[in-house]
Structure 1
Amino acid sequence: MKRRTFLQLAAGAALAGTGSLGFQPARAAGKDIVYLTPGLDLPFWRYLAKGVESAAKAKGYGFQALDSHNSPQTQLQNAQDSIAKGVAGIVISPTDSSTAPSVLALAAKAGIPVVIGDIGTNSGDYASFIISNNYDGAKGVGEALAAALKAKGWEGGSVGLITISQARKNGQARTKGFRDGLAAGGWTGKEAGLQQMQSYTTDETFKFTQDMLTANPDMRGLFIQTDQPALGALRAIKAARRSSDLLVAAFDGIPEFVDLLKSKQIVASGMQQPYLMGQKSGEALVAKLAGGPVEKEISVPILVVTSENIDKELPVVKETVFANEMK
């Protein structure tokens, strides 16, 4: 692979969907903050990017978001090019926790501070880690789904999981939390299987859901561990004419979820607050660059939003989850 320049990577990221976020070309070396993201095709990472950008620009830094397209190799290449350019600092949401140490090692050798915004790392040196309590959030979703199943008399039905990568620490926490929440809520059924997303697309989850429905005709519940792919699962359920006898729970949030929650097509979603996480990531990095104290780990609460509380939670959700995209 030929080594790409920083500006070429930035142009590629814009073509991949960053242009609508208003990211500006990098300015002078040493005055730019770079955000290395798993994939800007997912709204969650776009919202987090906006938060980092707001914090960086508030202190006079330039900003660049580089899309890794869910590839550890691409993320490493983006890191190498950013370091070669001499950026001031890096915020990274790793493609997975096991490959993050390679990026951290490169940055440490170059003396460039790094803040981790979500997902986490298995090892390595970093200034701060901004994380949601994925376990508690997913546990709340599991409890809400269990209650909804019980209200229908379906607590003995099977429940399927379509997860983010289980090589990610946050993915492991979501799976454990959800299972514990189901049990705490009195669910007594069996698991209808677990499928891990790789491309994080609606087409992928459509196929996973089709396969689960075919293999488990008694399936009464489904948990999808991120936002936009949940729409593919709902499409598959509708195509199978199972919308009236299967309950869906999700994680994270996009504007489409508001009407889906209100209509009970989704009964609950554990919404991280990506815009707020991005702001805190950017603020931690700016504080580190200024020589100030930085907390090693900063936890951001997860909002367990249900069909019952969506109207109450919506003002906060619009600001900290949807990055004010929803009018």
Structure 2
Amino acid sequence: MKLKKVLMAATACAALFSPMGASAEAVTKIGLAVPNLQADFFNQIKLGVENYAKEKGIEVIVVDAKNDTATQVSQVQDLMTQGIDAFIYIPAGAAAAAVPTRLAREAGIPVINVDRFPEGEPGDTFIGGEGVNSSYQVCSEIIKRAGGSGKMVIIHGQKGTTPEIDRTEGCMKAISENTGVQLVDQQWTERWSADEGFAITQNMLTANPDITMIFGQADGIAMGAAKAVDVANLSDKVVIGGYDGDGSALEYLAKCEGPFVVTATQSTRRMGVLAVDSAIAVAAGEEVPASQVSEAVLTTCENAAEFVANHP
């Protein structure tokens, strides 16, 4: 899909769910809790929130949990004392993910969940990317490029989080459709990071030196895996897929060289815009959809440059 079509689709999605009659006057301060600002994915959402909120004259207070759930709960408790009018929340992990939503609800503050769903304690709306079908597409592409058979491994994100669950389901579907593919190992990360991707891949290659396919459930993981494959001099034998459409990953793909060949680009900044619009709507007493999900776009060497130039 061409970038123009993607942006048109994102705009149409925003128009469908935007609070056309709502005013930003009821919302002057928003709290934004993110898991880890070292990750480009969360930074892109943050930029989407901050830039759009600035246009609306809304202050944004950002707290970074650095991937620690207890820290995030404490940060959100503090946010509740700072006079915020709405709360945009990305859980730092599956454990205790419901607590911040509950705290905000008890304070009568609208809650907008982004990317990760706090089980048992939903906010007023959930905004995220569709993870099952797009990860199915990524893994199908990896398998196709590897010739339809061979040994495959999955390096997961943080266990039990919404994207980890969805991306596992999609990839497992692709594997089940290809009887020549053998899933020989799976390991989980805590931070979805390149360092973890590198270390885990090195261990996997030691145990299974004839691996031909790797699915890293985030671009950071995939980039780390690609480095490990390069170090092992296996770049011409291993095909790697990632997920998210991080800036550095898109630049890598646009060069059309190396083992990392495919990802799924999410509309991260659009998520931030939609989160602010939804916060304004809920604060104004308007109805918003329980779930607002956008498609990720399969991205390879052929179309990566479009997203480098203009990330949705």
TM-score under structure 2 length normalisation: 0.86
The 5 Å alignment of 1:238-257 reads 238-257=230-249
1:278 equivalent in structure 2: 272
Amino acid at match of 1:230: A
Separation (CA, whole Å) in 1 of partners of 2:71 and 2:309: 32
Q: Report SS of the residue matched to 1:116.
A: strand
Separation (CA, whole Å) in 2 of partners of 1:318 and 1:69: 28
Q: What's the C-alpha RMSD, in Å, of the aligned pairs?
A: 1.9
1:138-177 CA distance string (max 9 Å, x none)? 0110111111111xxxx33111111111211221110110
Return the offset for 1:187: 5.2
Return the offset for 1:193: 1.0
Unaligned runs of 5+ in 2: 1-26
Work out the percentage of aligned pairs sharing the same amino acid.
26
1:303 equivalent in structure 2: 297
- Confirm or deny that 1:104 pairs with 2:101: yes
Return the offset for 1:95: 1.3
1:192-245 CA distance string (max 9 Å, x none)? 211111133322221100000010122001011112232221111111111111
Q: Does structure 2 retain, via aligned residues, the 8 Å contact 1:144–1:267?
A: no
2:126 equivalent in structure 1: 129
Amino acid at match of 2:90: S
Q: Does structure 1 retain, via aligned residues, the 8 Å contact 2:223–2:249?
A: no
- Confirm or deny that 1:60 pairs with 2:52: no
Return the offset for 1:59: 2.2
Call closer, same or farther: CA 1:234–1:282 in 2, change over 3 Å: same
Separation (CA, whole Å) in 1 of partners of 2:58 and 2:207: 53
Call closer, same or farther: CA 1:264–1:203 in 2, change over 3 Å: closer
Q: Does structure 2 retain, via aligned residues, the 8 Å contact 1:148–1:267?
A: no
1:114 equivalent in structure 2: 111
2:225 equivalent in structure 1: 233
Higher relative contact order (CA 8 A, sep 6+): 2
Separation (CA, whole Å) in 2 of partners of 1:310 and 1:183: 28
Q: Report SS of the residue matched to 1:124.
A: coil
Separation (CA, whole Å) in 1 of partners of 2:275 and 2:137: 25
Amino acid at match of 2:56: K
Q: Which moved more, 1:161-170 or 1:95-104?
A: 95-104
Runs of 4+ in 1 over 3 A off after TM superposition: 308-311
Return the offset for 1:255: 2.6
2:182 equivalent in structure 1: 190
Separation (CA, whole Å) in 1 of partners of 2:169 and 2:206: 25
Amino acid at match of 1:166: K
Q: Does structure 1 retain, via aligned residues, the 8 Å contact 2:80–2:107?
A: yes
Separation (CA, whole Å) in 2 of partners of 1:315 and 1:165: 26
Separation (CA, whole Å) in 2 of partners of 1:241 and 1:35: 43
Amino acid at match of 1:86: G
Separation (CA, whole Å) in 2 of partners of 1:59 and 1:286: 10
Q: Report SS of the residue matched to 1:95.
A: coil
- Confirm or deny that 1:265 pairs with 2:259: yes
Call closer, same or farther: CA 1:309–1:125 in 2, change over 3 Å: closer
Separation (CA, whole Å) in 1 of partners of 2:248 and 2:237: 21
Return the offset for 1:259: 4.2
Q: Does structure 2 retain, via aligned residues, the 8 Å contact 1:205–1:229?
A: yes
TM-score under structure 1 length normalisation: 0.82
2:166 equivalent in structure 1: 173
Unaligned runs of 5+ in 1: 1-29, 321-327
Return the offset for 1:253: 1.8
